[in-house]
Amino acid sequence: SGGYDAHAVQTKWQDRWAKADPFRAGDDTDTRPRKYVLAMFPYPSGDLHMGHAENYLYSDIVARSWRHRGYNVLNPIGWDSFGLPAENAAIQRGANPVTWTYENIAQQRESLKDYGVSFDWSRVLHTSDPEYYRWNQWLFQKLYERGLAYRKESPVNWCPNDQTVLANEQVVDGHCERCGAEVVKKKLTQWYFRITDYADRLLDDLNQLEGFWPQKVIQMQRNWIGRSVGADIDFEIEGREGAVTVFSTRPDTLHGATFFVVAPDSDLAAELAAGSSADVQARFKKYLEGVQRESEIERQSTDRPKTGVFLERYAINPVNGERLPVWAADYVLADYGHGAVMAVPAHDQRDLDFARAFDLPVKVVVDTTAPITGAIPVIEVDDDGVPIDPGAGDGSLDDLDPARTGIALTGEGRMINSGSLDGLSKRNAIARVIEQLEAAGKGHASKSFRLRDWLISRQRYWGTPIPMLHGDDGTIIPVPDEQLPVLLPSVEGLDLKPKGTSPLGGATEWVNTTDPATGAPMHRDHDTMDTFVDSSWYFLRYLSPKDAGEAFSSREADKWGPVDFYIGGVEHAILHLLYARFITKALFDMGLVDFTEPFSSLINQGMVILGGSKMSKSKGNLVLFQEELDAHGADALRVALAFAGPVEDDKDWDDVSTTGATKFLARALRVAHDVTSDPDVVWKDGDPALRRVTHRLLADAPALVEQTKFNVVVARLMELVNATRKTIDTGAGPADPAVREAAEVVAMVLDLFAPHTAEEMWEVLGYEPFVGLVTWRQADPMLLVEESVTAVVQIDGKVRATLEVPARIDGPALEALARSDARVLKSLGDREIVRAIVRPPKVVSFSTR
């Protein structure tokens, strides 16, 4: 529209960028302060979609704004090109995953170039390149050296559809995160990364991120790590050598334990049952079979009837020698705490439900009716945030007997029936009992985490081979560093169809190898690594992506790290971010980076939806990125998306107006064409009203971008273009210096959103490229002073007061000022205002009758 050929402008500037490469990060000779901007890298599993359009737009806006503010900016891009999405797509299409992956990368790369993103294209990486995954293998071995990579047999989450194991993080409500199949448990020997060693630090360091990461993400990570503080307590079991440990958050209630429960699927349960009668063994076996079919969610659900088997064994309470019957019951989980609990039915609802179901004794040891003075009161609240009355004052303790009411007493109170603990508050009783247990060598203070170690073995082809060798005698040795990378064998002749063991196992020649030291026959580990290993450190590889000698340069990491601005979808709130945080801390401990958190600030962009619902292929309502680019051009698409609403909000495609954006861009470009003055005009001779609008934008743009209020910046640009148009058409005219000044500032700020149009404007205005590299001007403080005007206040037609008010004041603000003015109040006296006519900024007229 209006002589604005979006595609011609776009092609012209993309060619010039390709030739001049202006967005390369500066090297060591660049003395400007550095900023590292990063958008989560894409999977090449298909075309880019509108979520990508948002992601790479927002990071580009920030990168461009920092260049305009005098920073040396690193804004890299790469591909997360290993993994299930690519492999499954390849299987479905019968294609070679290698060809398929790299074809997709090429196509996505074209789209991003077309989109005018100011990436440093010299640093592109693909995690499926041997040059990259070689360093995954290095990382694996570094972790192995430090005891942070280890193998163990345990029940793992198994996706029967993808025929591979899943990390806990990849199981969503009992289903495979990727394909939705119901996940089952399977016992396998697999490689793990010991992320639990870092649980405390991963939790505590979240405090540093407060205010810089979305609160929701911080909370999700806190919950995922799930720290509980309490004690480990040792119980002897009659007829068994060695004590059994339980974890309890309420060691103060130890005297109230009346039975003991072990997870049916634990080794301990199997052992205890085996030492019992044939009848018990049979019942236990049957029970266990049922339990193994249950999901973790089902097992933890509080509203199912409690089930279990009495093992006819007894545990001994370490503080009072009482015999506690041992049960196997599914509400106790094998892989939390120690897989066994002391059951205190009076004070734990799950234990109480179980006790009532099987008629076990209930012993109250906390008098929740007793006032607790001196102790710090802990107010417990229910799910609705309503404080739970601990019972104080309403009747006697007998009225609250859990055995009868079915309600466990979980509130604060004073200890009773607990020997030397009697009379103590919860806090003090916990401290005291831990002292006693420690003195007796029967326990100690302890913590438990919900976080599990990170299971990284995958039985799939398209991933990094685990660089370890196995001997027939069970020895395991790392592949020597000089023999890395262990290259993926060619896919020719391998069966990629999921079948429960890794396809690499079928590459016989590849699998069979020798011990590099002794020449003894060995076979390669034929699992591949979880792709979250690839993405746990890629932000470091961008700093020296071609370096063949090391994974990343510590020197470059000191210079650029941590990432200043990271953006991506909220779907990565747990997995990716937690793993990247863990690996960063591990690398810090190895002395390889000098920071402990990888991403100083984080933003989650909202989703692009359509007609109020999520876009999807199956609904047939997918808006395709490349199609939109082809139809409207990059700049219109970028402006329309940036203008559609706040970054974090979902945006409905129906509200995204590329037509409006195109009109605005044509208008902006026309303003540049209309300027008749030369670049050497004297700004201060220009029309002050227009200059004020220009300088307000200069003053506000940096902070607005920092706050990611991109839509507001677009609105302000529109305002400035309109004001300039008005000055040209009906004001001081196109030769006024303020018109040129405004057009130049529009080009400089528009570069964030519509870089092709901005460069075109800059050229039309008589400058050399590139406006993308021009430092924004300082706002003139004199032009930021608010203009003021005199407003009159009339009461019943007579002027009673005058007010100095900002020229831009709105009606409600003006009326409020007038109503609270002392002179107005005085002349009103007892009279009441019945009507107000407000005409900002100059007149307020009150009537009192």
Footprint of ligand ANZ (CB under 6 A)? 228, 247-250, 253, 263, 332-333, 336-337, 339, 341-342, 344, 347-348, 448
Q: Are the beta carbons of 524 and 513 closer than 8 angstroms?
A: yes
Nearer to ligand ANZ, 76 or 256 (CB): 256
Q: Are the beta carbons of 447 and 230 closer than 8 angstroms?
A: yes
3-state secondary structure of 795: strand
CB of 368 to ligand ANZ, least distance (A): 11
The H or E element that residue 523 is part of is strand 521-524
Nearer to ligand ANZ, 410 or 596 (CB): 410
Residue environment code for 265-274, b if the CB has 16+ CB neighbours within 10 A, otherwise e:
bbebbbebbe
Pairing of strands 184-193, 454-455: antiparallel
The H or E element that residue 803 is part of is strand 798-806
**Sign of the CA dihedral running 542, 545, 551, 553:** negative
User: d(Cα 116, Cα 113) in Å, to the nearest integer?
Assistant: 5
CB of 215 to ligand ANZ, least distance (A): 23
Residues placed in the known binding site for ATP: 617
CB of 475 to ligand ANZ, least distance (A): 34
User: d(Cα 381, Cα 751) in Å, to the nearest integer?
Assistant: 52
127: left (phi over 0), alpha (psi -120 to 50) or beta: alpha
CB of 339 to ligand ANZ, least distance (A): 5
Cis peptide leading into 235, omega within 30 of 0?
A: no
**Residue 223: other Cβ atoms inside 10 A:** 10
User: d(Cα 392, Cα 367) in Å, to the nearest integer?
Assistant: 9
Q: Are the beta carbons of 213 and 427 closer than 8 angstroms?
A: no
CB of 168 to ligand ANZ, least distance (A): 15
Strand partners, 468: 478
- Backbone φ and ψ of 732, nearest 5°: -65, -15
CB of 248 to ligand ANZ, least distance (A): 3
Nearer to ligand ANZ, 357 or 784 (CB): 357
CB of 256 to ligand ANZ, least distance (A): 7
User: d(Cα 138, Cα 550) in Å, to the nearest integer?
Assistant: 9
User: d(Cα 615, Cα 457) in Å, to the nearest integer?
Assistant: 33
DSSP letters along 26-58, please?
P-TT--SPEEEEEEPPPP-SS--BHHHHHHHHH
CA-to-CA separations, 686 to 402, 413, 677, 722, in angstroms, rounded: 83, 76, 11, 17
CB of 183 to ligand ANZ, least distance (A): 19
Nearer to ligand ANZ, 264 or 339 (CB): 339
Nearer to ligand ANZ, 204 or 630 (CB): 204
User: d(Cα 788, Cα 808) in Å, to the nearest integer?
Assistant: 8
Nearer to ligand ANZ, 45 or 448 (CB): 448
CB of 211 to ligand ANZ, least distance (A): 28
- Backbone φ and ψ of 773, nearest 5°: -110, 5
Nearer to ligand ANZ, 23 or 336 (CB): 336
Nearer to ligand ANZ, 388 or 807 (CB): 388
User: d(Cα 204, Cα 697) in Å, to the nearest integer?
Assistant: 40
CB of 81 to ligand ANZ, least distance (A): 39
Q: Are the beta carbons of 761 and 771 closer than 8 angstroms?
A: yes
User: d(Cα 479, Cα 465) in Å, to the nearest integer?
Assistant: 11
Nearer to ligand ANZ, 53 or 332 (CB): 332
CB of 333 to ligand ANZ, least distance (A): 4
DSSP letters along 60-116, please?
HHHHHHHHHTT-EEE---EE---SHHHHHHHHHHT--HHHHHHHHHHHHHHHHHHTT
Nearer to ligand ANZ, 200 or 685 (CB): 200
Closest CA relative to residue 654, chosen from 689, 623, 693: 623
Tell me how far the alpha carbon of residue 542 is from its chain's centroid: 20
Residues placed in the known binding site: 617
Nearer to ligand ANZ, 227 or 819 (CB): 227
If DSSP states are collapsed to H, E and C, what string results for 279-336?
Answer: HHHHHHHHHHHHHCCCCHHHHHCCCCCCCCEEEEEEEECCCCCCEEEEEECCCCCCCC
CB of 342 to ligand ANZ, least distance (A): 5
User: d(Cα 155, Cα 183) in Å, to the nearest integer?
Assistant: 12
User: d(Cα 143, Cα 590) in Å, to the nearest integer?
Assistant: 9
Nearer to ligand ANZ, 332 or 610 (CB): 332
Q: If you search the block for the tokens 């390669």, which residue do you land on? A: 524
Nearer to ligand ANZ, 111 or 248 (CB): 248
Residue environment code for 22-53, b if the CB has 16+ CB neighbours within 10 A, otherwise e:
ebbbeeeeeeeebbbbbbbbbbbbeebbbbbb
Report the number of secondary-structure helices (H) and strands (E) in the chain.
Answer: 28, 34
- Please give the structure tokens belonging to residue 131: 């040059």
CB of 409 to ligand ANZ, least distance (A): 8
680: Cβ–Cβ under 8 A, 6 or more apart, which residues? none
Residues shown for the chain: 849
CB of 262 to ligand ANZ, least distance (A): 9
Nearer to ligand ANZ, 268 or 723 (CB): 268
3-state secondary structure of 781: helix
CB of 260 to ligand ANZ, least distance (A): 10
Nearer to ligand ANZ, 344 or 793 (CB): 344
